[in-house]
Amino acid sequence: MRRATLGLAAAAAVVVGFTAGPASADPPAPPSLSTARAELTALTVAAPHSMDGYSRDAFDVWAGQPDGCTTRQDVLSRDGKDVVEGSDGCQPSSGSWYSVYDNTTVTVVAQATIDHMVPLAEAWRSGADKWTADQRKAFGNDLKDQQLFIASSSSNSSKSDSGPADWKPTNHAFWCTYGEDYTHIKSIFKLTTTDAEKTALTSMLDTCTS
């Protein structure tokens, strides 16, 4: 299996307010519970911004990476099991992918969708509307942080652009990690939250055992 190389997130190192570094060959581990709780407390509560001007294209999702593959292909390679890539060395032709949102395994490549932990629309209404094009591109293609996940088509469609105030994974065992990851992404990208979202994230972190 090809291992993901330095990602577009690394380019964000030169963008004020963003942390970055090489993409991992494995999915990023969640922050500790204590870190997530501290980050949640520190999030700024604010009214959602207008969706005027929003477009997925503004985030340049699935952009090309330095390894010659797209962000989506790198996530499929990174997070899949027994992945076989085609002649281009990028696009998987077979493998299996675990969708943690609904505790299912996908074996058809086309059905292994990639989900943004903090949806692009949610990022837009919580601060990304003020970002530069480079900042949005770094967010939409972030291989370093806990932002890109394999999701079954049905769970991805169900989540859509909702945050945890309106949607939670059907796999309750993932609620703790979901709360930690979502909070961490909002924190490192300096996005705002709402009272309803903060309450939902608190309840999800309360499911953690340590």
Give 101-123 pLDDT, tens digit per residue.
Answer: 999 999 999 999 999 999 999 99
Torsion of the alpha carbons at 79, 80, 84 and 88, rounded to the nearest 10: -40
Tokens for 180? 């930690």
Q: What percent of the chain has pLDDT over 90?
A: 86
Would you state the pLDDT for residue 146? Answer: 95
Task: Work out the mean pLDDT of the chain and round it to a whole number.
Answer: 90
Residues 6+ positions from 91 with CB-CB distance below 8 Å: 69, 73, 85, 109
Residue 92, classed as helix, strand or coil, is strand
Would you state the pLDDT for residue 172? Answer: 97
Closest CA to 76 of 158, 168, 148: 148
Contact 92, 72 (CB under 8 A): no
Q: Which stretches within the chain are classed as H helix?
A: 8-11, 33-42, 71-79, 120-125, 133-140, 153-159, 175-188, 195-205
**What does the longest C-alpha to C-alpha distance in the chain come to?**
49
Res. 25 pLDDT band, cuts 50 70 90: low
Torsion of the alpha carbons at 81, 209, 174 and 187, rounded to the nearest 10: -100
Would you state the pLDDT for residue 26? Answer: 72
Instruction: Evaluate if residue 158 carries a pLDDT over 60.
Output: yes
Q: Can you give the pTM of this predicted structure?
A: 0.89
Contact 137, 60 (CB under 8 A): yes
Span 20-26, average pLDDT: 49
Helix, strand, coil percent values for the chain (each to nearest 5) = 40, 15, 45
